[in-house]
Amino acid sequence: APGDPALTADVVIVGGGLSGLTAARDLVGGGKSVIVLEARDRAGGRVYGMPLGDGTTSEGGAEFIGPTQDRIAALATSLGVQTFPTYNTGKNVYYRNGKRSLYATDGLLGAVPPDWGILDLEIAMLRIGDMAKKITPGTPWTAAEAEEWDSQTVHTWSRGATISNGARFLLDAFISSTLSCRSKDVSMLYVLNYVASAGNETNPGNIDRLINTKAGGQESRFVGGSQEVPLRLAAQLGDRIKYNAPVRRIVQENGGVRVEADGVNVSAKRVVVAMSPAIANKIEFLPGLPASRAQLMQRFPMGSVAKFVAVYDTPFWRAEGLTGQALADSGAIDATFDNSPPDGSRGILMGFINQTNIRRLDGKSPAEVTAAGLDSFTKMFGTKASTPLRTAFQRWDNETWSGGGPVGYTAPGVLTEFGPALREPCGLVHWAGTETSTYWTGYMDGAVRSGERVAQELLPLL
Ligand SMILES: Cc1cc2nc3c(=O)[nH]c(=O)nc-3n(C[C@H](O)[C@H](O)[C@H](O)COP(=O)(O)OP(=O)(O)OC[C@H]3O[C@@H](n4cnc5c(N)ncnc54)[C@H](O)[C@@H]3O)c2cc1C
């Protein structure tokens, strides 16, 4: 705003999440001056160590890393952050139609619960895999069948492709646990691209790598918590990052950009907007953006998700032969993981509260959310789960600077019509954020890849 101190840099980066921080690292490495403007009082965005109230934290946002997520892996290694395997020994819990059952994840069908309709499901999953092979990751609108797949939701497709309630429930659960939305919210084309994107340049994406713990996206965790990665990268960037500086307006004028944030203005040659399209839509652009980009940002909502954790003096489920992973069709939590520290010195259960379930808890008190979370854990893991030492939860739908999570998704008709505007620079404005990534879109790896891509895009222009 007028009167605020004015800084100058080659590039101003809006957003201090993994995408913005990575872009800053590479631009600084290329000899350019950079200022990062971050709305929050911390770096990391959707990567956040949720305080447990005893001086320790548990992952409140992004957590897992798996094979082919090469760029987040390289970044973590460069910062001295190690990984360890997600606890995955024993059986998983399946809570369905009021009944609890256990299932092994190393059987013929992999990590699929033993529901009626399992063959029906397998056939549908194979079909999804075959369709995803026809997608070029990052540009799904170029597929020959793009119009057909972008004309239906996953719900519409799955009701045609399956006959059993079990298969339909599990396909809905796949969408809820990966995108935190309902199958009726999201385009089939979007999901096929998500599957195709779960790989790298030499290993085509596939559904198993997307959803599995063993050999999949949930295989490993970071020692000390995932937030170590953005926090250490932010420390390297030092006072190039300005916190508590929400950007309100981006003005392109006189051959450069002026970026106006609360308390500070920055003039630069170019600007990178490093966040989800939905959150970028809160910024005023002058002159206005091309309609295809402006309207893309109106059509890219965030999922609705919270993470709930309970801390116990031991991971008691391990002694009972359980992984700590569960899937449920009722209650607040629909999927869980063992979030204990690497040495198992105490037990932490983590549950996702997704889509309708978290909206039902809108306006509820922390005590009511906690009661709902513990009720779920108790149904899944027995009465021992009802008496934790402490609990915590992190809602993302209430976060002003995230607007939900884990990722933005699109309803039918959006990618084929507006998708090409996702990465296309608008004059001096460039776009990063996991939503723009070719591989592992929606993940930390995608965020890092998008930061690396935007830096490569900019360096020859500066
Ligand atoms: C509950 C949950 C679980 C997840 N689990 C995983 C997982 O297990 N593995 C995985 O790889 N990924 C996971 N993810 C996804 C992962 O967190 C994201 O893909 C990634 O962190 C996105 O990084 P980003 O830089 O693209 O965006 P963000 O992290 O959203 O960064 C955007 C930044 O911009 C800032 N900002 C917004 N508006 C403004 C403004 N106007 N001015 C200035 N700054 C602004 C925000 O504060 C934020 O810091 C999860 C996410 C959630 C929410």
Q: Which domain range does residue 408 map to? A: 6-46+227-301+404-461
- Is 24 part of any domain? yes
Q: Are residues 288 and 417 in the same domain?
A: yes
Going by C-alpha positions, the residue among 183, 130, 207, 174 that lies closest to residue 409 is 183
pLDDT at 110: 67
Same domain for 202 and 123? yes
Helical H segments across 238-346, by residue range:
277-280, 291-298, 316-319
> Mean pLDDT throughout 128-142?
98
Q: Percent of the chain, pLDDT > 90?
A: 95
Ligand 1 pocket, mutate which of 13, 22, 46, 250 (most atoms under 8 A from CB): 46
Q: Whose CA is nearest to atom 6 of ligand 1?
A: 62
Put residue 341 in one of left, alpha, beta given phi > 0 → left and psi -120 to 50 → alpha: beta
Q: Which residue carries 């949930």 as its tokens? A: 218
121 with 192, same domain?
Answer: yes
Tokens standing for residue 236: 């390297």
Q: Is residue 109 part of a domain?
A: no
- Going by pLDDT thresholds of 50, 70 and 90, the confidence category of residue 105 is confident
Is residue 259 in some structural domain?
yes
Residue that is written with structure tokens 């090409």 in the block: 420
Cα 356 to its chain centre, rounded Å, is 18
Q: Which two tokens stand for residue 123?
A: 């056939």
99 bridge partner residues: 96
Assess whether 248 and 186 both reside in one domain: no
134 and 260 in a single domain? The answer is no
Cα within 13 Å of Cα(194), Cβ side: 25
What rounded mean pLDDT belongs to the chain?
96
Which residue's CA lies nearest to atom 26 of ligand 1?
Answer: 433
Cα 275 to middle of ligand 1, angstroms? 7
With residue 352 as reference, give the H or E element that holds it: strand 347-354
Q: Which pLDDT score is estimated for 3?
A: 60
Please report the pLDDT score of residue 108 as a whole number: 61
Residue 405 has pLDDT above 90, yes or no: yes
pLDDT at residue 270 greater than cutoff 80: yes
Give the residues surrounding ligand 1 with Cβ less than 6 Å away: 14-20, 37-40, 45-47, 61-64, 246-247, 274-276, 279, 282-283, 305, 307, 396, 401-402, 405-407, 433-434, 442-447
Residue 97 lies in a domain: no
In the reported structure, the alpha carbon of residue 345 is separated from the centroid of ligand 1 by a whole-number distance in angstroms of 29
Residue 99: strand, helix, or coil: strand
419 and 291, same structural domain? Answer: yes
Burial tier of 94 (Cβ tally within 10 Å: 0-12, 13-18, 19+): buried
Q: Rounded to an integer, what distance in angstroms lies between the CA atom of residue 394 and that of residue 58?
A: 10
How many structural domains are present in the chain?
2
Cβ proximity of 303 and 179 under 8 Å: yes
Q: Give me ligand 1 centre to Cα 81, in Å.
A: 19
> Alpha helix (H) ranges present in 133-220?
146-149, 154-161, 165-179, 188-196, 207-211
Which ligand 1 atom sits closest to the C-alpha of 451? 25
Task: Looking at the structure, tell me whether residues 198 and 118 fall in a common domain.
Answer: yes
CATH of the domain at 120: 1.10.405.10
On whether residue 52 sits in a domain, the answer given is no
- Rounded to the nearest 5 degrees, what angle is found at the Cα of 407, between the Cα atoms of 401 and 413? 115
Burial class (CB in 10 A: 0-12, 13-18, 19+), 55: exposed
Do residues 83 and 59 touch, judged by C-beta distance below 8 A? Answer: no
Residue among 331, 289, 316 at smallest CA distance from 429:
289
Question: Exposed e or buried b for every residue in 316-339, given b needs 16+ CB within 10 A?
Answer: bbbeeebbbbbbbeebbbbbbbbb
- pLDDT per residue as tens digits for the range 189-227: 999 999 999 999 999 999 999 999 999 999 999 999 999
Q: Are residues 26 and 165 in the same domain?
A: no
Atom 20 of ligand 1, nearest CA residue: 444
Q: How many CA atoms lie within 13 A of 421 on its CB side?
A: 20
The ipTM (two decimal places) reads 1.00
The whole-model pTM stands at 0.98
**Residue 131: closest CA among 190, 192, 178:** 192
The band of 1, judged by pLDDT with boundaries at 50, 70 and 90, is low
Task: Measure the CA–CA gap between 234 and 301, rounded to whole angstroms.
Answer: 28
